[in-house]
Structures are given as structure tokens and as C-alpha cells.
């Protein structure tokens, strides 16, 4: 019931009434800098009260659960999420009198936990390092809490009200805001709620509107195997319920490096602070806009703000350590470039291979350490699980000869410390005081191992010049 005293005022009845209605803005500076032939406009979901596009599905999922009776007055909402959906759910829960419990892993940044607690939600943190069927795992805990608290679990990956929210609100807004002249819609896909929901509406208005999904390299939507990448909130290793490829005219894969650099570029050039997934969408939208006609209007969907990524995408040290930024001329990269090209760039061993294999490999290439990496190159940083070291293996085998035939993962040591390809040689030297070798990352991926010998050879070659 709307408070009658608000009549004639511009006072919104509640924060929920401020969901949606987000602005569409021409990316004036990017259009100039990139010399784009057509109009590129951004749908700014950051002006939703929770700061992201996820306010819309959060509301729709809760309203539908109220209608179906799955959510009773005073009930509890349990969802495994650490991100934007949690914020949306927490806002709606506060307004409509529900308790919220969010389940997340201990890998999540502490500020994400604080953010959800700030809205009055309960946060349960589970260890990331346990198997999915372990009672302490994220999945199992969410399942148990849903059961124990007789709670409603929105499950945004399967809930049809997630895309429906965008068909009802985001799609019509974009259609109206472009006076029906939109020609291309570009969005990142995670649950696929936004892209599919908007696409359903736009294609119904005009089947010629092109829908373009932006996807992190490695994710299944663009044909990857689901191996890890660093951009958050988009891409998957499975196909969610809302994935509707027949609606998408094209899927463009964008690397972590391009996504992050674009997020920084847009924030600085345009004055619109966006996150990594927004950067990914803009990078794809620029590709689309470059080949568009002058009268075309390309709309790119920006799901959230760069504020949530200050300690990653916008932290120069973090970016340099993952090999996204170059800090100086005399960098780790210079050493690798000068190194004997016959040394294969990344020697590694798989976790399931035997210690004997690891030893043979080290001997064949005259190296004393190997990173332990899952799968095959190019690896993601998250696929490195440890390392083996000649000295440590020698000691273990001396104690127990059977170690020779054990799997590497049963005996491996800690991961090698990482350094970015663009970080300074001085930093590498300092780190090598305490570590036998460093793992060099480039564009977020392991590229090579750097040892004291590599640096000595580099200095030697320099002195000879």
C-alpha cells in the first residue's frame, strides 16, 4: 500500500521502487578515441540501489516465490553467492521482512563478506579446499541450511524469473531509450539472465536486432572447456538454464588482459568506473561497433561498478603480479627474452604423474624445480597446485624409496611464489633470497619458471655486450 501522504511528491515509496530505470549514456570519449563509425551507448546498471543489474532478478525471484508460496511471511532465503545477487536479495529481504543467509567459500575477499553483512544478512563461510561432497563444502552447507531453516533457495542459475526480470524491465527500457533504433546489444553472460532476458524482448520488437554475447576466454559459451580465468561474474563451466544460443547472433571471447585493461581504460577515459566483466563487454562492443554502419546504435550492458574490484583490476601491484602491467624496462620479461630459446618456456608436471616422471623431466632439462599444473598449456594461474623440488624429493626418497612411484600430488610442496613478467628484476632478485625459483605470470597465466641461474646468465650476457 502506497502511503497516501506521498501523493504529488517525488518521494519513492521504498528503495525497491528505485530498481531499474537505469540510464543509457553515449560513450562519447570512447567513440572518439576508438574512432567508431556508429553510436556506442552504455546501459548503466550501477545506478540500481544495490549497484548492479542483479537487483532486478533478485526482486523478480522473490516476488515469484511469494506468489507460489515457496516463501512465507518472515521466511528465510538461502543462496550460495558472494556477489551482486546477494546484495539484491538482501535489499529485497530487508524491505519485505525476510532473513537472508549467504553461503560462500573462504576464497572470497573479506570486503564481500562485510558488504552482505552490512545489509543485515547472515554469512556462512565454508572451506574452499574440500571436495564438493564433503559435509563442510559450500554446496552441502547451502543444502543443509535450506533444509534446516525450511528456506527458499532462489538458485539464479536455474530460476526462470532471472531472465524474466530482464524481459519485463531491462529490454523495454533499452527499446524505449533508443526509440526502437537499437541495432546491436552486447552483454557478458554468467547465468545468462541478462542477455537472454533482454534478447527475448528486443527480438520480439525487431528480429533484426543483433545479440552479441561477450565471454571470457576459456568459458563454455564461446566454446572453451570451462577452464579458469580471472574475470569475475561471467562465463561458466556449465550451461545454465537461461543459456539460449539460438537468440545470440555471435559470441565473442575476450581475454582477461583485454577485459581488465578495458575496464581501466573506460574508467579513465570516460569517467565511468566499471568492473572486469563490464570491461569485457565493452571490449566486445568495440569490436562490434568497428564493423557497424554509421546509423547503427550499439548498446553495451554494464552490470556493475569498479568499486568492487579496487583490490584487483584497479590495484597496480595486483595487476603487475599477474603479468598484466609492465612496471619498468629492466623487467623479468627482459631476462626471459634473453634466455636460451632452446629452454622450453614452461616445464611442468601434472599432479597425477609419478615422482619418477618428474625427476626424469627435471634431469632431461637440467632444472631443479617444476610447477605442478593441471591440464595442458596454456594454463590458468588457478591450475597451478604446487611444485616439486629436486632437493625435497631426494630427501623424501631417501626416507621412503616407494615415494618414487607415488603421484606428484601426494608429495608436492607449496606453489612457487609468483612474479609478473613486467615486474622488476630487483624484485625478482629480492624474492630469490628465500625462494629457489619463481613462477612468472603473463596475462594472468603461468609462462615460465625463473631461477637465479637465469638472472646470472642475463647479467653475464649483458656484460659481454
Residue 154 or 233: which CB sits closer to ligand PMP? 233
Beta strand 250-254 pairing with 24-26:
unpaired
* Per-residue CA distances from 9 to 16, 48, 49 (Å): 17, 21, 20
Rounded CA separation 426/455 (Å): 10
Closer Cβ to ligand PMP, 98 or 157, answer by number: 157
Grid-cell match 540500481, residue found: 48
Question: Which of 188/386 has CB closer to ligand PMP?
Answer: 188
Residue nearest to ligand PMP (CB): 233
Q: How far is the CB of 197 from ligand PMP (least distance, A)?
A: 8
Rank residues 45 and 296 by Cβ distance to ligand PMP and give the closer one.
45
Whether residue 348 contacts residue 388, with contact meaning beta carbons closer than 8 Å, is answered with no
Told to check if 191 binds ligand PMP by CB under 6 A, we report yes
Number of residues that bind ligand PMP (CB under 6 A): 17
Distance CA 357, CA 379 (A): 20
| Dist CA 22 CA 26 (whole Å) | 13
| Nearest residue (CB) to ligand PMP, 215 versus 296 | 215
Residue 351 CA neighbour count, 13 Å, CB half: 12
Q: Which of 48, 76, 84, 255 binds ligand PMP (CB under 6 A)?
A: 84
According to the binding rule CB under 6 A, does residue 189 interact with ligand PMP?
yes
State in angstroms the smallest separation of the CB of 411 from ligand PMP: 38
Regarding 234 and contact with ligand PMP (CB under 6 A), the answer is yes
- Element spanning 446, H or E: strand 445-451
Cβ neighbours of residue 35 under 8 Å, at least 6 residues apart? none
Name 126's bridge partners: 105
Minimum gap (Å) between residue 275 Cβ and ligand PMP: 5
CA distances from 233 to 39, 214, 276, 319 (A): 27, 12, 9, 18
CB of 190 to ligand PMP, least distance (A): 3
Question: Is 80 a residue that touches ligand PMP (CB under 6 A)?
Answer: no
Rounded to the nearest whole angstrom, what is the least distance from the CB of residue 140 to ligand PMP in the complex? 22
Stretch that binds ligand PMP, among 39-47, 218-226, 227-235, 402-410 (CB under 6 A): 227-235
Which position among 46, 48, 165, 194 is part of the footprint of ligand PMP (CB under 6 A)? 194
- Residue 251 touching ligand PMP (CB under 6 A): no
Question: Closest approach of Cβ 182 to ligand PMP, in Å?
Answer: 18
Q: Kindly state whether residue 174 participates in binding ligand PMP, applying the rule CB under 6 A.
A: no
> Dihedral, CA atoms, 194, 196, 202, 205, nearest 10 degrees?
-140
Helix (H, G, I), strand (E, B) or coil at 294: coil
Residues 6+ apart with CB under 8 A from 1: none
DSSP 351-402: TTSBHHHHHHHHHHHT-SEEEEESSSSSPPGGGEEEEEEHHHHHHHHHH-GG
Q: Counting contacts by CB under 6 A, is residue 188 touching ligand PMP?
A: yes
Candidates 122-130, 193-201, 249-257, 410-418 — which segment interacts with ligand PMP by CB under 6 A?
A: 193-201
Give backbone dihedrals phi and psi of 446, rounded to 5 degrees, phi first: -60, 130
Would you count residue 386 as binding ligand PMP (CB under 6 A)? no
Q: Which is nearer to ligand PMP, 161 or 331 (CB)?
A: 161
- CA pair distance 392, 349, nearest whole angstrom: 16
User: Binder to ligand PMP among 75, 88, 216, 275 (CB under 6 A)?
Assistant: 275
Smallest gap, in angstroms, from Cβ of residue 364 to ligand PMP? 44
- 193 is a contact residue toward ligand PMP (CB under 6 A): yes
CB of 361 to ligand PMP, least distance (A): 40
Does residue 71 touch ligand PMP according to CB under 6 A? Answer: no
Nearer to ligand PMP by Cβ, of 31 and 214: the residue is 214
From residue 7, give the alpha-carbon distance in Å to each of 16, 17, 19, 42, 318. 18, 15, 20, 33, 51
Q: Which residues fall within 8 angstroms of residue 176, CB to CB, at 6 or more apart?
A: none
**126: helix, coil or strand?**
strand
Q: How near is the Cβ of 221 to ligand PMP at its closest, in Å?
A: 10
Binding to ligand PMP in span 291-350, by CB under 6 A:
303-304
- Backbone Cα Rg of the chain: 25
Q: Which is nearer to ligand PMP, 171 or 303 (CB)?
A: 303
Cα gap 253→220, rounded to integer Å:
10
Answer whether 33's CB lies under 8 Å from 292's CB: no
Catalytic residues: 54
DSSP SS3 for 44:
strand
- Of the candidate spans 131-139, 187-195, 265-273, 396-404, the one that interacts with ligand PMP by CB under 6 A turns out to be 187-195
51 is a contact residue toward ligand PMP (CB under 6 A): no
Q: Which of 233, 279, 420, 443 binds ligand PMP (CB under 6 A)?
A: 233
CA contacts within 13 A on the Cβ side of 337: 11
Taking the least distance from each CB to ligand PMP, the nearer of 233 and 333 is 233
List contacts with ligand PMP (CB under 6 A).
83-84, 188-195, 232-234, 275, 277, 303-304
Amino acid at each position: 500500500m502506497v502511503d497516501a501522504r506521498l501523493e504529488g511528491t517525488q518521494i519513492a515509496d521504498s528503495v525497491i521502487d528505485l530498481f531499474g530505470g537505469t540510464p543509457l549514456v553515449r560513450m562519447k570519449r570512447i567513440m572518439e578515441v576508438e574512432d567508431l563509425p556508429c553510436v556506442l551507448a552504455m546501459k548503466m546498471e550501477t545506478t540500481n540501489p544495490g549497484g548492479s543489474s542483479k537487483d532486478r532478478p533478485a526482486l523478480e525471484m522473490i516476488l515469484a516465490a511469494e506468489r507460489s508460496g515457496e516463501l512465507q511471511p518472515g521466511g528465510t532465503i538461502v543462496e550460495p553467492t558472494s556477489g551482486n545477487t546477494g546484495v539484491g536479495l538482501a535489499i529485497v529481504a530487508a524491505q519485505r521482512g525476510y532473513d537472508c543467509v549467504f553461503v560462500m567459500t573462504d576464497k572470497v575477499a573479506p570486503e564481500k563478506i562485510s558488504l552482505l553483512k552490512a545489509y543485515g544478512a547472515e554469512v556462512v563461510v565454508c572451506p574452499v579446499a574440500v571436495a564438493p561432497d564433503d559435509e563442510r563444502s559450500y554446496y552441502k552447507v547451502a543444502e543443509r541450511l535450506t533444509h534446516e531453516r525450511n528456506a527458499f533457495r532462489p538458485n539464479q542459475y536455474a530460476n526462470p524469473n532471472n531472465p524474466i526480470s530482464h524481459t519485463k524491465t531491462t529490454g523495454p527500457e533499452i527499446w524505449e531509450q533508443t526509440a526502437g533504433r537499437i541495432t546491436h546489444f552486447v552483454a557478458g553472460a554468467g547465468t545468462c539472465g541478462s542477455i537472454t532476458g533482454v534478447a527475448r524482448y528486443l527480438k520480439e520488437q525487431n528480429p533484426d536486432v543483433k545479440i552479441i554475447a561477450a565471454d571470457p576466454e576459456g568459458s563454455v559459451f564461446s566454446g572453451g572447456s570451462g577452464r579458469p580465468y580471472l574475470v569475475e561474474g561471467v562465463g561458466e563451466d556449465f550451461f545454465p538454464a537461461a543459456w539460449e544460443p539460438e537468440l545470440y547472433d555471435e559470441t565473442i571471447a575476450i581475454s582477461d588482459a583485454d577485459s581488465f585493461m578495458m575496464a581501466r581504460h573506460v574508467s579513465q577515459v570516460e569517467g565511468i568506473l566499471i568492473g572486469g566483466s563490464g570491461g569485457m563487454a565493452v571490449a566486445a562492443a568495440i569490436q562490434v561497433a568497428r564493423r557497424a554502419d554509421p546509423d547503427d546504435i550499439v548498446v553495451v550492458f554494464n552490470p556493475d561498478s569498479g568499486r568492487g574490484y579496487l583490490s584487483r583490476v584497479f590495484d597496480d601491484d595486483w595487476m603487475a603480479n599477474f603479468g598484466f602491467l609492465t612496471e619498468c624496462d629492466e623487467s623479468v620479461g627482459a631476462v626471459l627474452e634473453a634466455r636460451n630459446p632452446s629452454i622450453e618456456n614452461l616445464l611442468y608436471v601434472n599432479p597425477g604423474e609419478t615422482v619418477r616422471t618428474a625427476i626424469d623431466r627435471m634431469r632431461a632439462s637440467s632444472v631443479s624445480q617444476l610447477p605442478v599444473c593441471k591440464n595442458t598449456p596454456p594454463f590458468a594461474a588457478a591450475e597451478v597446485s604446487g611444485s616439486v623440488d629436486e632437493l625435497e624429493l631426494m630427501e623424501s626418497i631417501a626416507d621412503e624409496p616407494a615415494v618414487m612411484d607415488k603421484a606428484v600430488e601426494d608429495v608436492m610442496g607449496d606453489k612457487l611464489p609468483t612474479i609478473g613478467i613486467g615486474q622488476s628484476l630487483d624484485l625478482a632478485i629480492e624474492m630469490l633470497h628465500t625462494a629457489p625459483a619463481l613462477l612468472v605470470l603473463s596475462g594472468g597465466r603461468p609462462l615460465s619458471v625463473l631461477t637465479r641461474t637465469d638472472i646470472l646468465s642475463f647479467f653475464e650476457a649483458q656484460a659481454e655486450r
